[in-house]
Amino acid sequence: MPNLIIARPESTEFDPYYANYINGVPGDDAFTAMRNQIRETVQMLQSLPESQAAFRYAPDKWSINEVIGHMCDAERIMSYRALRIARADATPLSGFEQDDYVKAADFDTRALASLLEEFQSIRAATIAFFGSLDETALRRSGTANNAGISVRALAYIIAGHERHHVQILRERYGVK
């Protein structure tokens, strides 16, 4: 694994909407945070019995399976954005409606173990991708969802988004 450090982005490198995700990443290295999260998150979720995977803490909220599926979808999308921008593609990238994605995916028909395997695969690919980038690529900026964003900001958003949902799983769903 490379000794890459992905430094915290400046506030001018992302839309303020993402500040909570970025600020939620501890330390000053998104690469290390992403590498640590994969172990911690999978270990936490592997302890859940399959019977809890469809649990919702309120009728209008996502199930545990849907939260994990959403984490997978969002990481794929953010990594794709990072790839396009890192490769100096100036094409503005569209946003996505997370609730529509979750509804269309029908995650509750899948086994929890299947979703965890998918999450691990996606995160491994994300780490490999970011590990291949140099400082020039990490500092490149582009447009996604009608706002400017840098590649390194996307790394922090990926790590912060996972952290956000893990916190929700612990606090609202009782996952230990």
**What are the structural domains of the chain?**
11-171 (1.20.120.450)
pTM, to two decimals: 0.96
d(CA 91, CA 119): 28
3-state secondary structure the chain: CCCCCCCCCCHHHCCHHHHHHHHCCCCCCHHHHHHHHHHHHHHHHHCCCHHHCCCCCCCCCCCHHHHHHHHHHHHHHHHHHHHHHHCCCCCCECCCCHHHHHHHHCHHHCCHHHHHHHHHHHHHHHHHHHHCCCHHHHHCEEEECCEEEEHHHHHHHHHHHHHHHHHHHHHCCCCC
Q: What is the pLDDT along the chain (176 residues), one digit of tens a residue?
A: 457 899 999 999 999 999 999 999 999 999 999 999 999 999 999 999 999 999 999 999 999 999 999 999 999 999 999 999 999 999 999 999 999 999 999 999 999 999 999 999 999 999 999 999 999 999 999 999 999 999 999 999 999 999 999 999 999 999 98
Can you tell me the distance from the alpha carbon of 15 to that of 147, in angstroms, rounded to the nearest whole number? 6
